[in-house]
Amino acid sequence: MTTLVDALWAYRGFVAGSIKREFQLKYRNSMLGAVWNVINPLAMIVVYTVVFSQLMKSRLPGVESTFGYTIYLITGVLTWGLFSEIAVRAQNIFIEQANLMKKMSFPRLTLPLIVVLSAGLNFSIVFGLFMIFLGLSGNWPGWVALAAIPVLTVQVAFSIGLGMSLGVLNVFFRDVSQMFGVALTFWFWFTPIVYPPTILPEQIRGILFILNPLAPLIAANQSIFVAGQWPDWTSLLIPTIVSSLLCLLGLRLFRKRAGEMVDEL
């Protein structure tokens, strides 16, 4: 593990340069450039606020705030977006960078690291705007907001562990990416993002939170930013174990199949 960390640190310039290049390419030939990274999430926040808080007057059970459902929805959508961006990018990263892997000698694990840091950069910009919205609307949760750090850390570990495992398999079986795209559609609706879990029967809710590691993670973030409450840390035990196992699985698959991957690509 120390050797791995040292190798990644030695190529920190390559990682930083790749993230910068991805960020620039995203808005190349655009008049407003990186400003779109602010406009897009800002528009989402405004639309959700107007539609759900003012027009539909949606309310969450037990939450008095006018913006309760809006904050609930935005929190779920943003954290789901972080998961899906990392997982989808990671499952395709080895195929996308096939030429680089065949022509250059470098630690291949820098590629998943670039995915995580690039997604983290995009997420931090959007989440920063969300924090400003919470402050301006009078819904700032206070010090409880710091609880989101360990919750998001587990979620990122889950995302990259799953994405890297699928990424190795996707090199040999190209149907993996198509199947995962379909699975994501169902996964989204099996995760309490648009609807509160309280509308589900208690038995189904219990099964959902056991079989779907994202459900307690997103619910923890929603409890932080909607209710201003510390999450139930015991509910995060299973997602933490699953995330650790997925990271170990992804690393093991990568190390075992790294040579074969280059030949296959």
Residue pair 68/60 in contact (Cβ under 8 Å)? The answer is yes
Tell me which amino acid residue 240 is.
Answer: T
pLDDT over threshold 90, residue 149? yes
Number of domains in the chain: 1
23-71 tens-digit pLDDT: 777 666 555 555 666 666 667 667 766 666 555 556 666 666 677 788 8
215-230 tens-digit pLDDT: 999 999 999 998 888 9
Highest mean pLDDT among 31-45, 145-159, 162-176: 145-159
Residue pair 94/254 in contact (Cβ under 8 Å)? The answer is no
Average pLDDT over residues 90-119: 82
SS3 for the chain is CHHHHHHHHHCHHHHHHHHHHHHHHHCCCCCCHHHHHHHHHHHHHHHHHHHHHHHCCCCCCCCCCCCHHHHHHHHHHHHHHHHHHHHHHHHHHHHHCHHHHHHCCCCCCHHHHHHHHHHHHHHHHHHHHHHHHHHHCCCCCHHHHHHHHHHHHHHHHHHHHHHHHHHHHHHHCCHHHHHHHHHHHHHHHCCCCCCCHHHCCHHHHHHHHHHCCHHHHHHHHHHHHHCCCCCCHHHHHHHHHHHHHHHHHHHHHHHHHHHHHHHHC
* Conformational region of residue 29, where left means phi above 0, alpha means psi within -120 to 50, and beta covers everything else: left
Average pLDDT over residues 193-211: 84
- Which range is least confidently modeled, 50-54, 107-111, 149-153, 183-187? 50-54
Q: What local confidence, expressed as pLDDT, does residue 155 receive?
A: 96
Interior angle at CA 81, CA 21 and CA 132, nearest 5: 85
Residue pair 152/82 in contact (Cβ under 8 Å)? The answer is yes
Residue 59 sits in which domain range?
Answer: 2-264
71-86 tens-digit pLDDT: 888 898 899 989 999 9
The alpha-carbon radius of gyration of the chain (Å, integer) is: 20
On average, the pLDDT of the chain sits at 82
Distance of CA 161 to the CA centre of its chain: 12
Q: What local confidence, expressed as pLDDT, does residue 87 receive?
A: 93
Predicted model pTM: 0.88
pLDDT band, very low/low/confident/very high, at 162 (cuts 50, 70, 90): very high
